[in-house]
Structure 1
Amino acid sequence: MDEKTALVLALQLVALFSIAGALLLYLLCKIRASSTDLLDGSTPGAGKPVLVTSADTAIGLQIAIHLANRGFRVFAGLKDGASTGSAEDSASSKVISAWQKHRESVQGQGVLVALPLDVTREDLLHEAVDVIRAHLPAGEDGIWAVVNTSGLSYRGRLDQQDNSHWDAMLKTNVVGVLRTARKLRPLLRNAGGRIITVGATEQLGAGLVAYAASRFAVEGASKALRQELAPVGIKVVTINPQGIMPELLFSVPKLSSKQGQEDTTVEMTGCMNYQPVVLSSRALHILDVALTSRKPKDNYSLEEKPWCKPFEILKIV
């Protein structure tokens, strides 16, 4: 091997090791930042109280169950309130009831409390605050987070859509967020908590003009709330569930049609089978970061990114 070839090979090796070293340093820094930025390690919830405004939606039920399993003290809003054990109970109510009964027989930190809540009704918001305060540990009077999962979505061409659909979406998707923020502000302030809102997504397709308007309104309101509430220590974070149709996000959960397997499912997972399940494991991990990071970003995308998948085991965010 002549000197010129050896020199070129040496430069290539140096460049390769430099790139590998830089990548390793980057990964170590990201892992360290992720681990030190979170409140705790394996159990980020650590009993912290969180309100999920609606478990009547697919995204809300999944988040409520997930956070309870992660150790949070979850208050799950249901328009029909807590389960009564009757056949007329909603699927969400039955899933929550099954989770509660299963948790009684196993060791676990999480708590899941169903309460009557409709973000369009001021009286139920007021009652929800009373219920939350009654279930807080002695000496505590704060809530760590409010996750706004209440939502409506109606698809239809603008020239054919009923005005009542527009009114309902704006009342629930936008005004509901504002009502909730106002009513829960004292509890959030006491705990230095945070508000999680659902923002806009790209490529919604035709027929969702009014829905998109409501979601972009939520993003605008979230930015303004972030500035207004920062002086009292309340953070406002927006999550963007990219690639998931709103009809799925805010659909009404239904129990699995596989009869006779629910008892086994509850025994194995603590939860009855239901559909649809709308968030991936990575999306739920990103939600955990948004909830537990000491200094959360303003926005998080819940979109699956193929280039991230090889590093998922390292929990890089």
Structure 2
Amino acid sequence: MGKKTAIITGTSSGFGLLTAIELAKNGFYVIATMRDVSKAAKLEELAESHNVKDAIQVQPLDVTSSESIDQFQVFVNTLTSVDVLVNNAGFAMGGFGEEVAIEEYRRQFETNFFGTIAVTQTVLPSMRQQRSGKIIYLSSISGQIGFPGLSPYVSSKFALEGFSECLRLELKPLGIDVALVEPGSYKTNIWSSGKQIAKKSMLEDSPYYTYMKSFEQQIETEKARFGDPLEVAQLICSLAISDEIKKLRHPIGKGVKLGISLRKCIPWSRWEKLFFHRLGQKG
């Protein structure tokens, strides 16, 4: 039996890049996709250093482009099997709800939600025919807990979680597992080059400017305590190589499980007080 094949989106940096290396180290043949293949140098260098370069194939894929998706579908049809799909491509759009343009919300959803569905649909025929496979979605603690100033990102992750819950129930009888990985704060570019803020919320005359700045400061203050993203890549790899993924949700990161448990267990009024106290805001 040949190597199992894994497809990963968004592999030019962060969780996607590290997951590609981890899966290759564990015997997978990895199709590492990225929107701009000119950014593959970091992945190729890391693959070389881990002696897995021959196990990784870079493919162009823009999850927001129907033409790119169609071209990728043609490529997928040439594969003998697709055993694992890791949907990682995404970015974070911030801003306060009143000030985020509808177009900005749409752009967030095109990548984080609709793009993810489109890629999923390219691999499902193969997985369904072979009656096996694993689909792993990179969600976030933001898929279960809302945060001020991040409604585009949070909304896209809430939508992804709902879709994943439905999909798991649809595909489990066909031998296909669906899982959500829900990281907290990690040292990736999601909060730097991968973050975009709605234009209005960054203007000094915005009624939310001070609030936005306090939230930004909170992130900057805590960056030194963000986790090692390799932990997340290793979790994804462990799910990929497991015989069966028995749970849908897999939270990971400092304080993430506690935060999700509190959000579910305590009254909303109490949650608000705790939240605003942590941010130094009046609720």
TM-score (norm 2): 0.68
Distance 1:118 1:279, change over 3 A: farther
Tell me if structure 1 keeps the 8 A contact 2:22–2:237.
Answer: no
Tell me if structure 1 keeps the 8 A contact 2:10–2:17.
Answer: yes
Distance 1:100 1:285, change over 3 A: closer
Tell me if structure 2 keeps the 8 A contact 1:150–1:250.
Answer: no
Distance 1:110 1:305, change over 3 A: farther
Q: Which residue matches 1:181? A: 120
Tell me if structure 2 keeps the 8 A contact 1:118–1:124.
Answer: yes
Tell me how far 1:110 sits from its aligned partner.
Answer: 6.2
Tell me how far 1:278 sits from its aligned partner.
Answer: 6.6
Tell me if structure 1 keeps the 8 A contact 2:227–2:254.
Answer: no
Tell me how far 1:101 sits from its aligned partner.
Answer: 5.3
From the CA coordinates, give the structure whose radius of gyration is larger: 1
Q: How high is the sequence identity, in percent, across the aligned residues? A: 24
Tell me if structure 1 keeps the 8 A contact 2:188–2:229.
Answer: no
Q: Which residue matches 2:11? A: 55
Aligned-residue CA RMSD (Å) = 3.1
- Which whole-Å CA distance do the structure 1 matches of 2:189 and 2:36 have between them? 21
SS of alignment partner, residue 50 of structure 1: strand
Q: Which residue matches 1:197? A: 137
Letter in 1 for 2:153: Y
Q: Which residue matches 1:232? A: 174
Letter in 1 for 2:171: L
Distance 1:244 1:97, change over 3 A: closer
Letter in 2 for 1:183: T
1:272-287 matches, within 5 Å, as 279-287=228-236
- Which whole-Å CA distance do the structure 2 matches of 1:246 and 1:102 have between them? 20
For structure 1, which runs of at least 5 residues remain unmatched after alignment?
1-45, 82-88, 253-276, 307-317
TM-score (norm 1): 0.61
Tell me if structure 2 keeps the 8 A contact 1:57–1:149.
Answer: no
Distance 1:302 1:220, change over 3 A: same
SS of alignment partner, residue 154 of structure 1: strand
* 107, 112, 116: which one aligns with 2:60: 116
Q: Which residue matches 1:80? A: 36
Letter in 2 for 1:198: L
For structure 2, which runs of at least 5 residues remain unmatched after alignment?
195-225, 257-283
Moved more, 291-300 or 118-127: 118-127
- Which whole-Å CA distance do the structure 1 matches of 2:53 and 2:110 have between them? 36
Q: Deviations over 1:31-58 (max 9, x none)?
A: xxxxxxxxxxxxxxx8321000111342
- Which whole-Å CA distance do the structure 2 matches of 1:225 and 1:115 have between them? 26
Distance 1:245 1:224, change over 3 A: farther
Tell me if structure 1 keeps the 8 A contact 2:36–2:60.
Answer: yes
Tell me if structure 2 keeps the 8 A contact 1:204–1:245.
Answer: no
Letter in 1 for 2:57: V
Q: Deviations over 1:96-131 (max 9, x none)?
A: 33345567xx5x596111001011223322322433
Moved more, 121-130 or 59-68: 121-130
* 246, 249, 253: which one aligns with 1:303: 253
- Which whole-Å CA distance do the structure 1 matches of 2:170 and 2:56 have between them? 31
1:8-19 matches, within 5 Å, as none
